[in-house]
Chain A
Amino acid sequence: MLVTELLQTTPDPAAETALTLPDYDPETQAALFRYLLRLGDSVLILGQRTSEWCGHAPVLEEEMALANFGLDLIGQARMLLTYAGALEGKGRDEDTLAFLRYEHEYRNVTMTELPNGDFARTMVRHFLFASWMVLLWARLQSSADPHLAAIAGKAVKEARYHQRHAGGWVVRLGDGTALSHDKTQAALDDLWPYTAEWFESDEDDARLAQAGIAPHPGEFAARWRETVTPTLAEAQLRMPPESPFRSHGRWGRHSEHMGHLLPEMQYLQRAYPGGKW
């Protein structure tokens, strides 16, 4: 059974036995586990951040759109973390992985944990991230790993809508009033340095690329830039210069904001261990 066929309602404790697991050598299996955390944690943490807009969005309709974004991302996280737990084979289900790890064990890219800031910043971040994910999911659809390929098939459609909707806002705000332009440009300038991390790689990435399981992160750098450039130009935004700054969320070294996000996200599972809906 594929992981996309599970998870209709609550976490499935039988996932570890229900899933048909590919037969990998131990090194590949461990590398894939870490890769699934990197991807799964990124969408989990951005989903958590996006959900913070509930009750605060500028208009009711946009609040629903943001809630939908968050739910899409958390749905992707559920599949990735369920598969990661099953692959690891130590009895950790999606909830255990999502809510009962410590800060340094999370592997999300740093941009996802940064505070939402204003609406412009939230939309710029979502547009940059979704534009990357569209490229990544599209390539993962042909992954040699059947579960990852199936997850990508579902997620790529969600990411395309996120890119389109958030991109629309980037243009409206960037090419809007002087004030909205300045806020959007400031958000882009602040967030841009955090994108460099997405295209960095290590031996896990090399191993998975070699096995045809996941594309090499570096292959997206130029294409991602080509993808976002027309929207930024239409939005009258100036592309920030390259900077030597590197964030390291994918290696478990987080910004100071992660330590504030986790207690809120983990509160229920820490206060009521094993609690279910």
Chain B
Amino acid sequence: MTQTPTDTPRRDEWPLWEVFVRAKNGLEHKHCGSVHAVDARMALELARDLYTRRQEGVSIWVVRSDQIVASDPDAKPELFDPSADKIYRHPTFYRLPAEVDHM
């Protein structure tokens, strides 16, 4: 665990925030990068200035990076490998009747 605990912020560097941008209404917010900022308001403004300069978005979320709970990279084998041979979980596994063409 190398994360900096939230209750002892470093004074020489601003906290890191993850930035999520929604490209247009109806789509989901997508992670696009991160910014350093002292608080939520500044994080939103700087995210706007860094990540929406070319009309990339209509909405921004920012989340303190140290608030994100991530899966353990060492647990990759047991978490993700078991799904590798379950091809029946993909819709393309099933042959559709001719009547439901173009699914």
Task: Give chain A's interface residues, CB within 8 Å of chain B.
Answer: 59-62, 64-65, 68, 164-165, 168, 172
Chain A, Cβ-Cβ closest to B53 = A68
Complex Cα gap A62–B37 (Å): 9
12 examples of A-B residue contacts, CB within 8 angstroms: A59-B14, A59-B36, A61-B37, A61-B46, A64-B46, A64-B53, A65-B45, A65-B49, A68-B53, A164-B45, A165-B45, A168-B42
- List, in ascending order, chain A residues with CB within 8 A of B21's CB: none
Q: In the assembly, what is the distance between CA of A61 and CA of B19, in Å?
A: 13
Is B58 part of the contact surface with A, judged by Cβ < 8 Å? no
A147 to chain B: closest CB distance in Å?
Answer: 24
Contact A168 B46 (CB under 8 A): no
Cβ-closest 3 pairs across A and B: A61-B46, A65-B49, A64-B49
A-facing mask of B37-54, CB < 8 A → 1, else 0?
Answer: 110011001100110010
Are A68 and B49 also in contact (CB < 8 A) when A61-B35, A61-B37, A168-B42 are?
Answer: yes
Among B14, B45, B49, B50, max chain A CB count under 10 A is at B49
A188 to B49, CA, bound (A): 26
Q: Is the CB of A62 within 8 A of B46?
A: yes
Q: In the complex, A193→B35 CA distance in Å?
A: 37
Minimum Cβ distance to chain A for residue B57 (Å): 15
How near does chain B come to A96, taking the closest CB pair, in angstroms?
A: 29
Given contacts A68-B53, A165-B45, 8 further A-B contacts (CB under 8 A): A61-B50, A62-B46, A64-B50, A65-B46, A65-B49, A68-B49, A168-B42, A172-B38
A164 to B35, CA, bound (A): 19
Enumerate chain A residues within 8 angstroms of B50, measured Cβ to Cβ. Answer: 61, 64
Complex: chain B residue closest to A69, CB-CB: B49
